[in-house]
Structure 1
Amino acid sequence: MSHSATRKTLTWAACFTLALAAGLFTSLAHAADESISYDTRGEITDLLQKKIGSLLDQKNADGVGVARGSFSPNLKKVDDTTITASFLKNTADKDTEKVERLLLTFKKGANGKWAIAKEDVQDTYDGLHRSLRENDEFYRFEKFSFDRYGMKVSATNGSLFKTSYMGKPSTFTLVADDLAYDYSPPKNLNYYQTYNVVMLKEHKENYVFKPEKAEVRGDGASCEQILASAFTGLKKVAKGETSSALQKDYDDLRNEWDKSLKDNGFFGFRRPYEADRQTLDLAIKRASGEERWIWIDYDNYEPWDVQYGASAPGFGGQVFPYAIFGYYSDSVLKSTPAAADLERREDADARDFDLDSLEGTVEIGLEDSQALSGDLTYGMTIKETLRELPFNISRLRRPGDEQKETRNPKMIIKSITDGDGDELSWVKTGAYSALVIFPKPVAAGTKAVLKMQFTNLDSIYQVNPSYSAMDRGGWLPFVRFTDPIEKFDLTVKVRDKYRVLGVGKKVSEKTENGVNVTRWSSDRPVSFPTVIFGEYITDGPKIKATKKDGTEIPVHVYVDKVSTHTLDETSLKSEDDAEDRVAKFEGGARGIRGKQLSAIADQAVNALNLYREVWGQDYKFAKLDLVADPLGEFYGQSPASMIYLGFGVFRGEGEVAANMGGGSSLSKFNKDVVAHETGHQWWGSLIGNANNRNYWFIESLAEYSAALYVENVYSRKAYDEKVAEWRRGVLRYEMLSSVQDASALWGGENPGAAYQFNVYFKGPYAFHVLRETFGDEKFFKYLKDLGAELAEKQIVTMDLQRVAEKDFGGTMAWFFDEWFRSAGLPQYALFYDVRQTEDGKWLIEGKIKQRVVEGKEKTELPGVYYKSRGWLTFEFDGGKAIKYPAKAKSAGEPERMFIVDGAETPFKVKLPEKPIAVYFNKDGEILAHDTLVNQSW
């Protein structure tokens, strides 16, 4: 169960429905029976709209609408006097929403007018229900004791109210003067130390407070079990016999409920939980001050079936967009002992189907510049036996995203049919979510085909008159971020003044009736497809990118014409100068010059050719397009066969350093951002992540690819400088989540920065450490083997570890656990003495103490240690220095390194001359805080 960033007071509804009528946008001509004349279609449509109007006129006793309708645009001609249409009728009863799919038969009368002659019910669905307030109950209790998943809650002599859903308890809220709680993660988790040692020290006010109330919600069986086992002396009473605090809380919620019902007669309906789904959420609200909550959430459909979260406006103004911790219950650990299988547990929205193919047509901004109309056919594999198939338009938001797209789309469904063209029932469950309702259950393993006609509003981002793009957070129903779509064939229609850029290969392009029509397909799987269109200038590289067989890869860079309008980059001398520049910028001017495009293309070509060799796999698509995005400044994003680049990436190095606030850091960013985004064509497109919790390596390995590009194009020194920048970044910001968990859990006071330093700094630094530890020969074989073994797969962290164990030998759990699955960093203290021995040599004897620290105050995690490999460095008079053990002298020679493990590691080294200084980890081979020498922390 997910939570909003700031937890609101408990409502009795988990979902809501919208009174949006379909059938309002019917621009896709091929959706219609062409034998029906335009005039006849218009007359039938008028009758259908009148029927919708008559339903909207149906009111309950409070004057609130309780009926609505929608119709399919797919009219069918039976004969010259008979036409049929599919019509959905939604009716809101007190506690049930009924969806009826009707077949309306229209007959043409002797007067030449059409009329509805017959209504046949084809299908009825009554699977959406809501709570009834008259079923709410009030209780007094003597004792409450809850102890699950690390959360303990107790209370005596308190009051509660209970709500029900379909005859079973669904929520209850309790208050008591001595209400108390205690939370501690399981001791076998890294979180135990993070929470008890770091978070309670640095942010105690967010986790420990006097509670006002506790709220519990879940499936009926789980709530019944809690009511039966956690309470002593539970007695049903009248509302007036409960505490005044509980009565006020109930009245507030009741008023909110009643208002919502008056605003929307379909408010509060939701699907019951699946029969095998178990969910229980217990939340605690703080009694005073800023509104703060903590909660423990169990849901056996989620990858981590247990999550602990805190929802508050605190932490320096940052809200919590994620759970704080996520872990597995004992039952999951017993039933799924293999670590790889645990990592591979699916996201909740991936349980029902795999998306295999996507074909069809989208019309973008033709009749309405903000409207997208789609006529798409989806091929999918059903994974669970089901009658209702939930779907939505995915909303991809990651911490650290620089895109400014924030609005959500509005999906208007016109028709959903099966592979035979038979209409199916459906019902909206939100602005961009719905259920497809099959006539009967569909068995797991079924290869299903769904055809959908729809219109989306607010999915098109028109940044300026010559640049528009589809919402990169998601714009296509059914398509999820991790879906590898095996068969992709999409026709795109826009106004003929625009050029379309899509994913895969452009198969054809033509202009007809003022419309530019392009068709895009791919013979390799694509993920999260996108489309942009505009008026562009373009240029290509001066060098060639090729595949292994010599086939050239077309590479082009595009910038929209408005973005080439000049901006005065000189210092502003007056307020008028500033206002003029702002006006030009707001009008779309970005000052991008055409001569800058070819250099960007060359960077992409160099990266394509390099990565072909590094990963041992060809670039998988037929072309690569790079597009200047006038919405963002210094950023990149890389869907299949396309790269978005912020307009700041097109600035010259001197211009960036002189005029941009970031100075040299932005100049460095611009040197390899193209290489990073090109890396995503391997990590993201060729090799995908199996679930959201295993996204980190998509970014970390793209970033490490960029470092190899820097080394290849510039020098090893430039590579080392980039590595040093990673190290400085990680040490500057202490993340509270691991690299692997960065995309799913809260990582610190600034979640965006925590995410960035985890996946863009610490993650790639770890691969640098692998290179330094095992040498180039083994390391680059490892990279090639990753490409060979994982191509066209959706993987998890254990897959990277498995290949590492094959290539490096022995278990690599120690490395992956420390670097990717754990938070915190080691700190070392080096103690040593130097004395001359009888043979005239010098003995350096000492120990290296270790501790692991976490958080901005560098709080020690007791009993936690890293197993690390590095070198001792000895410096002598004259500037000479040697490393111990001696570094490998050839590429084929394995590195011998000094292993530090546990609280103390002793060492003895005999040298022919006396060192003037001794260091450990001097060159940062281990990502650790600066080593103390002959002093402790």
Structure 2
Amino acid sequence: MVYLRALRGTQVIVSPPSASPSRYRLPAMLLAGLLVATAGAVPPLAAAEPDPAALLDRLDAAWKSHDEAAWLGAWRASNEEQRAEERDYVRERWAGEESRLEIERPLETPRPPFKVPATVISIAEPRGRVEQVVFTLDRGPDGWAVIGRQTVSQIDGLVHLALGPAFRADGLVFHLPDFEMRIRRGTLFLPPPSLGPTVLVFVGEATVRFAPGPPTEQEQLRQFSGRRELVETVHAAFVRIHPADFHRVLTNAALERDPQGEGSRAAALKFFREHVDDTYQLDAPLPRAPWWLVPALGDSVVTFQTRRGALTFTVSQSEPEGLSLFDRARRRQICLYPLPGTQARYDEDDERDVDVLHHDLTVRFEPERFGLVGFDTMRLRLRSPASTIRLRLDEALRVISIRSPEGGEHLFFRVRHQDGMMVSLGSLSGTVGEITLTVRFAGNQQPHPVEREAMPQVAPPVGFDDDISVEEALVYSNRSPWYPQGEADDYATAMLHLDVPAGMMAISGGQQTSLRTEGGRTRVEYRQDLPGKYITVAVGRFYEAGRQVDGDVTVAAWAAPRLRGVADARMAEAAAILRFYESEFGPCPYPSLNLALVESRVPGGHSPPGMIVVSIRPALLRGALRDDPASFPDVPEFFIAHELAHQWWGHGVAGRNYHERWLSEAFAQYAAALWVRHNRGESAFRGMLVRMGRWALHYADKGPIYLGHRLGHIEGDPQVYRAVVYDKGAYVLHMLRQIVGEDAFRRAVMALQSAHRFGKVGTDDVRAALETASGLDLRPYFAEWVYGTSLPELRLASRSTPAAEGYRTEITVHGRDLPGPVPLEVAVAHPAGTEVRTVSLEPEGGSWTVDTPGPPRRVDVNAGRGLLARVRRN
């Protein structure tokens, strides 16, 4: 058993520098380097005790009294060299101001030899160290003795931060990629020399200049500050760096003591205290807590005060997007992009050390107080040798223990503001292959309402009639990690054991294998044999409304009490939509779908693997709903069609990172529109394109589709995200479908689904599939429409003249921002009807003639909405 008693039942919290609102990540390489697993046992020495308890008492007493002879006397030595090695070990640990040995005593005496875990804490200010060690005890002819010690993990490099001497800062320049702080005058406070320059506080007058390289990030900065470059006069700054980076990031750093510096110390200490807890803090139940970590070499954090409040700029060498500017107080991610010279497009799985293969999850729900008690036995594949792995669990939930059959109890650290934890592999460090971890957890977590869990959604209505009650279910989903998960979405199978009060039901994805009610509790089990990215459970008063088998897919419906009357119709509707999608995208990824109908004041939906949650407004509920890019209230089946499409787009295949989220939402939005065309006809479909186009054109300049969930984030306007990612994204797919042809488009998406089933893809994979199916080069279209913000603008001119058999109309269209040839519908209305023709519009424009039997009444282009474009008439 490997266990750190000081951390039992508690959480150790690490606060990294970039705990920004839209990227909650711990610099994993930093902690992985700190939780270093070291192998190798100390050679045995010599002594004896009558039983293991007496031997452990002897070790404990020797450590407390720093009695070297008593400590060595507890060992059975084979030679003097091994004895000297153990003597050096305790001398080093006892040399500081404080040291502790905490032994986890076995409840029973196992067969010898056996292992006993312990924690060693050593403090030599301003530094500290925590080790997780295992002693090996054995019985010899003369009694019990220690024969080995192994350090299975350790946290080295803990520091206490403080401000020390003051230096003149006039003329100093602090340089980071795309960032500069040029000091005109002031004082720079450094820590005491024994610590090294890992924390700096400046007070005085300086100019901060931040100039992001990518145009997209320049636009985000403009939305925040009004300019594409940030230039601010600042009077205080807090800096964290690795001490070895001091002369690299600070120029003109021939520092001289500032005799006037003490006058600024109070202001420096105030700024220090305001921001020191935000960066690299380890909040653990350790002596003299809290402790801080030293940033990794090349990593930096700068917090500076501006007229807009405190802003933080970070550099993280281990992140794919290593440069970040954010407003911590307002939870605004302003800029986030790769370091110069690194790859702009990435797969979030590339640097992952562990794959989650299977969850065996048991949870007891107490809905009245939002209580959860559970444990998850996770089967993991370690992809490369490592000493730690990172898991996620909502910060509201306490981790009770983490255990493996191979390594016993594991040391873990909670990650503040990131819903994360670092788990030491202990004796499993360096292992490659499969292991099993069981995480026990408990706490109270109120899930977000389902209409906020996943798009589409609409803005909250106004003028609610509070006399009508709404029975809302609790939906535990991927908005927050309510059960232990990998660092990124990871496809895994699952076995679920769910326990709710009698009278309630728990609905999840997969096949229901057991259902029973006894002792005032209902227990239900689900088996998910096919991989899913995450697990969702809806808890509420649900009634089974039936099931329908259609081909290879079984749809089971569950409904809130007042929705049982609509369940049959929704179930039949879902089956029809699934049949249509199979003709467009290929086989449904999951053979069983559980449909949960819930009440809500705001309509919406959510689509976990093998499950659809549809929230429905009660018919008698009054109040107006705002118009929204994702809302089509006159097409009630649109919500369920969108959510069903996510079984293919979002689960059958998924995006590689947050930039690729459009592949899920745009495809689902477009799939729902195609269903409307199939079910309601061409006129209804064009009406949807009109509305999508209106939203997309209105918000197109806010950022490219590829910016993902950061669209609208700075302004706090989620409609920007939905207008660009949902509606513009769907329209881009429609334009690509027109360019490559419907058959080629269908072949491409079916091939993509088949080749990458239960895998992650990127925009380039979609482009490659379309190019293979069509033989066209689509790179210019993706560059403008997905990675850029420009959209076509058409200028129309026409002239009609009498002809031999009626009238001839010459139509001229001048194009702007066209990435290549596009199909264009031209139409001439006349008294007897309308002449419609589809032509190929080149980027420079074109001219065409249309003959009509009568005088033209109106000339139109793009009336069929095949192109998302602004049309102007001469």
What's the TM-score bracket when you normalise by the shorter of the two chains?
Answer: 0.7 to 0.9
**Alignment partner of 2:212: what SS?**
coil
**Alignment partner of 1:380: what SS?**
strand
Report the Cα distance in structure 2 between the residues aligned to 1:84 and 1:172, rounded to whole angstroms: 45
The Cα shift of 1:157 comes to 3.8
Residue 380 to residue 438, structure 1, CA distance change in 2 (3 Å): same
Alignment-derived partner of residue 523 in structure 2: 517
**Alignment partner of 1:769: what SS?**
helix
Alignment-derived partner of residue 425 in structure 1: 411
Report the Cα distance in structure 1 between the residues aligned to 2:422 and 2:659, rounded to whole angstroms: 26
For 1:532, the aligned partner's letter is A
Alignment-derived partner of residue 676 in structure 1: 642
For 1:924, the aligned partner's letter is R
Q: Answer yes or no: is 1:98 the counterpart of 2:109.
A: no
Please, which of 304, 321, 346 is the counterpart of residue 332 of structure 2?
321
CA contact (8 A) 1:417 1:424 kept: yes
For 1:661, the aligned partner's letter is L
Q: Answer yes or no: is 1:151 the counterpart of 2:92.
A: no
Identity value in percent: 17
Q: Answer yes or no: is 1:438 the counterpart of 2:448.
A: no
The Cα shift of 1:672 comes to 1.2
* Counterparts of residues 57-72 of structure 1 (less than 5 Å): none
The Cα shift of 1:516 comes to 3.4
* Counterparts of residues 599-618 of structure 1 (less than 5 Å): 599-618=569-588
Deviation digits for residues 411-442 of structure 1 (CA, Å, limit 9, x no counterpart)? 2323x223336233334444854332233573
Deviation digits for residues 18-45 of structure 1 (CA, Å, limit 9, x no counterpart)? xxxxxxxxxxxxxxxxxxxxxxxxxxxx
Deviation digits for residues 769-790 of structure 1 (CA, Å, limit 9, x no counterpart)? 1223333222222232222222
Alignment-derived partner of residue 848 in structure 2: 909
Please, which of 311, 324, 340 is the counterpart of residue 327 of structure 2?
311
**Alignment partner of 2:319: what SS?**
coil
The Cα shift of 1:593 comes to 4.0
Report the Cα distance in structure 1 between the residues aligned to 2:149 and 2:207, rounded to whole angstroms: 55
CA contact (8 A) 1:6 1:311 kept: no
The Cα shift of 1:800 comes to 0.9
Deviation digits for residues 103-160 of structure 1 (CA, Å, limit 9, x no counterpart)? 999xxxxxxxxxxx99x98757541654434564432234234555433442334422
Alignment-derived partner of residue 640 in structure 1: 609
Report the Cα distance in structure 2 between the residues aligned to 1:79 and 1:174, rounded to whole angstroms: 59
Alignment-derived partner of residue 235 in structure 1: 255
The Cα shift of 1:803 comes to 0.4
CA contact (8 A) 1:85 1:103 kept: yes
For 1:818, the aligned partner's letter is E
The Cα shift of 1:684 comes to 1.9
CA contact (8 A) 2:494 2:528 kept: yes
**Alignment partner of 1:391: what SS?**
strand
Report the Cα distance in structure 1 between the residues aligned to 2:616 and 2:832, rounded to whole angstroms: 47
Report the Cα distance in structure 2 between the residues aligned to 1:923 and 1:646, rounded to whole angstroms: 33
* Counterparts of residues 684-763 of structure 1 (less than 5 Å): 684-744=650-710, 749-763=715-729
The Cα shift of 1:835 comes to 7.7
Please, which of 866, 869, 874 is the counterpart of residue 928 of structure 1?
869
Report the Cα distance in structure 1 between the residues aligned to 2:194 and 2:767, rounded to whole angstroms: 47
The Cα shift of 1:763 comes to 0.8
* Counterparts of residues 366-515 of structure 1 (less than 5 Å): 370-393=370-393, 408-414=395-401, 416-420=402-406, 422-430=408-416, 432-440=419-427, 442-443=429-430, 445-458=432-445, 467-470=473-476, 472=478, 473-480=480-487, 482-485=489-492, 487-511=493-517, 513-515=519-521
For 1:322, the aligned partner's letter is Q
CA contact (8 A) 1:428 1:434 kept: yes
Residue 881 to residue 168, structure 1, CA distance change in 2 (3 Å): farther
Please, which of 731, 753, 757 is the counterpart of residue 765 of structure 1?
731
**Alignment partner of 1:482: what SS?**
coil
TM-score (norm 1): 0.70
For 2:490, the aligned partner's letter is D
Residue 545 to residue 906, structure 1, CA distance change in 2 (3 Å): closer
Please, which of 195, 201, 218 is the counterpart of residue 173 of structure 1?
201
CA contact (8 A) 1:710 1:719 kept: yes
Question: How many corresponding residue pairs?
Answer: 753
CA contact (8 A) 1:214 1:284 kept: yes
Alignment-derived partner of residue 824 in structure 2: 871
Q: Answer yes or no: is 1:351 the counterpart of 2:352.
A: yes
Please, which of 542, 548, 551 is the counterpart of residue 546 of structure 1?
551
Residue 284 to residue 384, structure 1, CA distance change in 2 (3 Å): farther
**Alignment partner of 1:375: what SS?**
strand
The Cα shift of 1:637 comes to 1.0
Report the Cα distance in structure 1 between the residues aligned to 2:824 and 2:373, rounded to whole angstroms: 62
The Cα shift of 1:484 comes to 0.2
Report the Cα distance in structure 2 between the residues aligned to 1:150 and 1:377, rounded to whole angstroms: 45
CA contact (8 A) 1:362 1:491 kept: yes
CA contact (8 A) 2:405 2:436 kept: yes
**Alignment partner of 2:684: what SS?**
helix
Please, which of 249, 253, 257 is the counterpart of residue 268 of structure 2?
249
The Cα shift of 1:483 comes to 0.7
Q: Answer yes or no: is 1:661 the counterpart of 2:661.
A: no
Report the Cα distance in structure 2 between the residues aligned to 1:807 and 1:601, rounded to whole angstroms: 34
The Cα shift of 1:258 comes to 10
Report the Cα distance in structure 2 between the residues aligned to 1:133 and 1:251, rounded to whole angstroms: 14
Deviation digits for residues 217-239 of structure 1 (CA, Å, limit 9, x no counterpart)? 34444444213xxx21531425x
Alignment-derived partner of residue 216 in structure 2: 191
Please, which of 293, 299, 309 is the counterpart of residue 291 of structure 1?
309
CA contact (8 A) 1:496 1:514 kept: yes
Alignment-derived partner of residue 55 in structure 2: none
- Report the aligned-residue RMSD: 4.6
Residue 158 to residue 413, structure 1, CA distance change in 2 (3 Å): same
Report the Cα distance in structure 2 between the residues aligned to 1:154 and 1:599, rounded to whole angstroms: 67
The Cα shift of 1:553 comes to 0.6
Residue 908 to residue 712, structure 1, CA distance change in 2 (3 Å): closer
For 2:291, the aligned partner's letter is F
For 1:359, the aligned partner's letter is D
Residue 718 to residue 537, structure 1, CA distance change in 2 (3 Å): same
Deviation digits for residues 738-788 of structure 1 (CA, Å, limit 9, x no counterpart)? 112122465563441111112221111111112233332222222322222
**Alignment partner of 1:675: what SS?**
helix
CA contact (8 A) 1:538 1:557 kept: yes
Report the Cα distance in structure 2 between the residues aligned to 1:412 and 1:825, rounded to whole angstroms: 50
Deviation digits for residues 521-566 of structure 1 (CA, Å, limit 9, x no counterpart)? 222102211223343223136x64322xxxx51321321xxxx4xx
For 2:240, the aligned partner's letter is R
The Cα shift of 1:679 comes to 1.2
Alignment-derived partner of residue 567 in structure 2: 597
Residue 409 to residue 234, structure 1, CA distance change in 2 (3 Å): same
CA contact (8 A) 1:640 1:685 kept: yes
Report the Cα distance in structure 1 between the residues aligned to 2:682 and 2:841, rounded to whole angstroms: 24
Residue 811 to residue 205, structure 1, CA distance change in 2 (3 Å): closer
Residue 6 to residue 494, structure 1, CA distance change in 2 (3 Å): closer
CA contact (8 A) 1:801 1:812 kept: yes
Deviation digits for residues 796-845 of structure 1 (CA, Å, limit 9, x no counterpart)? 11111110111122321112222221224343434566789999996848
The Cα shift of 1:659 comes to 5.2
Report the Cα distance in structure 1 between the residues aligned to 2:363 and 2:349, rounded to whole angstroms: 28
Deviation digits for residues 162-207 of structure 1 (CA, Å, limit 9, x no counterpart)? 3489944333233443x22444333xx44377469x659x824994
Q: Comparing 912-921 with 692-701, which one deviates more in the overlay?
A: 912-921
Q: Answer yes or no: is 1:269 the counterpart of 2:326.
A: no
CA contact (8 A) 2:701 2:790 kept: yes
Report the Cα distance in structure 1 between the residues aligned to 2:277 and 2:813, rounded to whole angstroms: 70
**Alignment partner of 2:341: what SS?**
helix
CA contact (8 A) 1:738 1:758 kept: yes
The Cα shift of 1:686 comes to 1.6
CA contact (8 A) 1:99 1:427 kept: no
Unpaired runs of 5+ in structure 1?
8-13, 16-53, 55-64, 106-116, 314-318, 334-341, 395-407, 565-591, 852-864, 888-895
Report the Cα distance in structure 2 between the residues aligned to 1:421 and 1:147, rounded to whole angstroms: 45
